[in-house]
Amino acid sequence: MHHAVAAALEDRVAEFDDMYIAECFEIINRQKPVIAARTAEEKAEIQARIEKLPASASVIMQLAARPVQERRITRSLFLLK
């Protein structure tokens, strides 16, 4: 992740990593209550959108069919990878 770090900041790389990881988890945790509060109707609508996708749908198409909360979680997890 760190391609070029100024010499003055080299000692703080671990600190910045921790801040970055904490921010990713904060994003994930902010989405959980919104997802948990969905009604059965909202969940059914989301599932119907996903089921309409062709079997050959790309990962990007699959993500686009999901609500923004899931996309934020997926993006945060990807950034942590």
Residue 60: count of CB within 10 angstroms of its CB: 8
Q: Is position 15 within any domain?
A: yes
Q: Is residue 1 part of a domain?
A: no
List the domain range (segments joined by +) for residue 11: 7-80
Q: Has residue 57 been placed in a domain?
A: yes
- Domain assignment of residue 66, yes or no: yes
Confidence of residue 9 (pLDDT cuts 50, 70, 90): confident
Q: Is the pLDDT of residue 2 over 80?
A: no
Tell me what pLDDT residue 14 has.
87
pLDDT for residue 1 is more than 70: no
Give me the number of domains the chain comprises: 1
What is the rounded CA–CA span in Å between residue 24 and residue 20?
6
Residue type, 41: E
16 pLDDT exceeds 90? Answer: no
Mean pLDDT of 24-37: 95
